[in-house]
Amino acid sequence: MRSILLDQDKRWLNNAIAPQFTLTWEKESRLVNTQIYVALLRPSREISDTFGFEREIPFFYSPYENLEARSMQALDQICSEPPLAGRIDPTVALFCSPATNLEEWISRYTSENSEGRVIIPLSKKTLDACIDDKWALINAIKGSLFIRDLFDYKLPLKSDRYFYGREDIVAAIVDNVRKSQNSGLFGLRKTGKTSVLLKVQRALRETNLIETILFDCKNRPIRKSSCDDLAERIISELDRAFGRNFKKRIDGSRDIFDVLMEAVEAIPSKKKVCIIFDEIEYISPISPTEPHWAGDFIDFWQALWAIQSKCDKISFVVCGVNPTVCDRDRFESISVPGRTVQNPMFSIFNTYYLQGLDLESLRRMVRFFGARMGLKFDVEAIDYLYQQYGGHPLLSRLACSFHHHELEAENQPRPFQLTLAKISDADKRRDAELSSYCGHVVAEIKELYPDEYEMLKILAAGEISDFATLTGRDEDIRHIREYGLVSFDQGDLPRFRIPVVKRYLITAERDAIAFDEVERFNTIEKRQAWLKRRVKALVDDLLLLNESRRELGTFTFYRSNNSLKGHYVVETPLVDSEDSARSFLVHLHKYVVEPSDKCLGRGGVANSSEFRSELPILFHAFMRVKTYRNIHCHLEVNSYTEQDYRRFLIEDFNGALIEDVEDGWFKLQRRVMDYLHVALQAEISKT
């Protein structure tokens, strides 16, 4: 085959690209009816540091003056096969062509294929400039990478290129399929469920032993199908997958599931099939659009379960928001009023809940994409994003995207270092941008589990004591915990795992929350009764915890129970103003915290590593009292106290100053007392 790389082209490669890259391999190929040259380039340290490249970069040259999509098809095929596969950076490729409209064509192509790798166009003019100016090549790469927003991708991921985390769940589902067991995958909207299903499909395809058939049940042809219609679709897909023709046996004289059984039994030896139903709610008794599935669902899954019981060549994966289809044991019968029928899906699915990415996966994702966009995130900045968004993939990516666009608007040069201060200073602006997505995240909870949504509102309002009291059973908050919205384990405080959702609820449900608070505390008598209950419980629990630990021979925070002057503590004043708040804080510190300071000696509670490690939740509650008291009762405070104060304001008042919060001083008393109360319950449960 005659070489397509002319002497001029070699001059570009040697003189324009070589100063920044080292040529390690090259080849000319002809495929998909096009000729193309490919080389592997090892980036210089400068290029690696600037763009975060850790692997070699592919360089392609196409000799055609009129570009067509097949050039990109050839590029993708070469990148997906040895020796490039696994060796190159999967997100970027350099592409050279004599086409006069190269940049325009590449821009249009990549906009239509947003999940594809970034193609960096190198025209003859650009390469000529690179011979005398090394910055011309760097700027050409910047021009393509730093403009494209790799974070802003909202569709399911169809390749591994941008897929991060979820390895454990993918492996578990793949293992279930290999064993002919069924899996259910559930999670909030936009947590990446469909991306996981597509990843499972790719992993099973690589085995060459398991075929997969995926139905998107929200699509009209699927959800409008009857039980028999959907069975016929499955038969057609099995025929296509295994080269059979069982559909011709459907003639109306036999039950269609008998034909389906024969099609499954005819699957070749050592081969299996996995049928995946995404958005399973749409063909279930809880379908929001198709009531006929209330009855067809039972027939459909009874028949599928019967087939699977007889033949282990088939398994199922279902996916959706609502796990009711798997975890409810019975549904109402549509044939016999007042009767129920057993759910054929109950207990035959291994159920998984998709929560946010873990911290390490989020770090890798943010660093990887950020480096290619000229955004260098400090570790503290990424960890802060994790704290705010709980690893929720869409919210986390959109938060990073927000900073990309904000820096663009400011005309900030790249690379740009994104620090914790830069990220945290933008909280309110960023939340305003993401508020609509937060509403989408919790909308399903509000509709499907209204009682649990009310619990979210209670926790968002800061009523952690009420939340803890009202959630006596795991079932009370099962879904909001499994979805990763809240965390409330034994021996810990209840908290939002995605604080931005908390802030959204405070805004969206402001009137309802305010009404509830007014109803509960609208008279002095109600407030006094609440304070009396809290103070009595506080004294009892402090004495119980201290004495229990003494009997166990472990760390105690009072020298004796007599150190706590309970008769003084019960005289805690009710707060109705800033002055009475100061009196309350001084009183509580004097009779609850200071006895611990005396017991612990030099440095007291604040400097006791033993208190911090042995009773971390109570330590945090004591430090809340100390911090508020020092801020509001001392003329001068150190920077550590100011830092703690800001942290407690975020926890208790969403960062607002107490004087700016309606009825803020009484709410301060409630927050302090409630956190002490719940902290003691948590610590006692661990004793």
Q: Is 290 helix (H, G, I), strand (E, B) or coil?
A: coil
What is the model's pLDDT at position 115?
61
**pLDDT mean over 164-186:** 92
Strand ranges (DSSP E) for 291-448?
Answer: 314-320, 330-332, 340-342, 349-354, 375-377, 416-418
pLDDT above 50 (res 141): yes
Band of residue 552 on the pLDDT scale cut at 50, 70, 90: confident
Could you give the angle at the alpha carbon of 509 between the alpha carbons of 507 and 511, nearest 5°?
Answer: 100
Q: 463 pLDDT exceeds 50? A: yes
Q: Supply φ then ψ for residue 608, to 5 degrees.
A: -95, 105
106-115, 118-127, 267-276: the lowest-pLDDT one: 106-115
pLDDT one-digit tens code per residue, 253-277: 889 999 999 999 999 988 999 999 9
Question: How far is Cα of residue 548 from the mean position of the Cα atoms in its chain?
Answer: 40
At position 490, the amino acid (one-letter code) is Q
Handedness of CA 441, 442, 443, 447 (dihedral sign): positive
* Interval 603-613: pLDDT, tens: 889 888 999 99
Mean pLDDT lowest among 220-224, 512-516, 665-669: 512-516
pLDDT confidence tier of residue 161, bands split at 50, 70 and 90? low
Nearest to 150 by CA among 360, 426, 384, 374: 374
**Sign of the CA dihedral running 317, 320, 326, 330:** negative
Check residue 195 and give its pLDDT. 87
Please report the pLDDT score of residue 322 as a whole number: 83
Does residue 158 have a pLDDT over 90?
no
227-250: pLDDT as tens digits: 999 999 999 999 999 999 888 888
Query: Which has more pLDDT, 521 or 115?
Result: 521
* Model pLDDT for residues 361-419, shown as the tens digit of each residue: 999 889 988 888 889 999 999 999 999 998 988 889 989 989 998 888 888 888 899 99
Q: For residues 676 and 538, is the Cβ–Cβ distance under 8 A? A: yes
Distance CA 58, CA 79 (A): 8
Is the N-terminal amide bond of 415 cis, ω within 30° of 0?
Answer: yes
Q: How far apart are CA 494 and CA 255, in angstroms?
A: 53
Beta bridge partners of 275: 213, 316
Average confidence (pLDDT) over 191-212: 90
376: number of CA atoms within 13 Å, CB side?
10
Nearest CA to 395 out of 188, 557, 545 is that of 188
Those residues whose C-beta lies under 8 Å from the C-beta of residue 105, and which sit 6 or more positions away, are: 67, 99
pLDDT for res 200: 94
The pLDDT score that the predictor gives to residue 201 is: 92
Mean pLDDT rounded to a whole number for the chain:
87
CA 224 centroid distance within chain: 32
Q: Is the pLDDT of residue 91 over 90?
A: no
pLDDT number for residue 684: 84
**H or E element: which one contains 93?**
strand 92-96
Burial call 141-154: b when 16+ CB within 10 Å, e when fewer: bbebbbebbbbebe
Is this structure's pTM higher than 0.95?
no
Sequence-distant (≥ 6) Cβ neighbours of residue 86 within 8 angstroms: none
Looking at the DSSP assignment, which residues form a beta bridge with residue 385? none
Helix boundaries (H) for 266-392: 293-310, 324-327, 359-372, 379-389
Report residue 533's pLDDT band, with 50, 70 and 90 as the boundaries: confident
User: Residues 579-602: what's their mean pLDDT?
Assistant: 91
The answer on pLDDT for 439 being more than 80 is no
Whether pLDDT at 170 is above 70 = yes
167/142 Cα distance (integer angstroms): 32
Single out the residue of 285, 279, 155, 284 nearest to residue 217, CA to CA.
Answer: 279
Instruction: Give percent of the chain with pLDDT exceeding 90.
Output: 35
Please tell me the predicted confidence (pLDDT) of residue 1. Answer: 45
Mean pLDDT of all residues in 152-175: 76
Closest CA to 672 of 525, 457, 464: 464
DSSP state of 477: G
Output the six-digit token pair for 642.
């100011």
Q: What percent of the chain has pLDDT over 70?
A: 94
Mean pLDDT of 420-440: 84
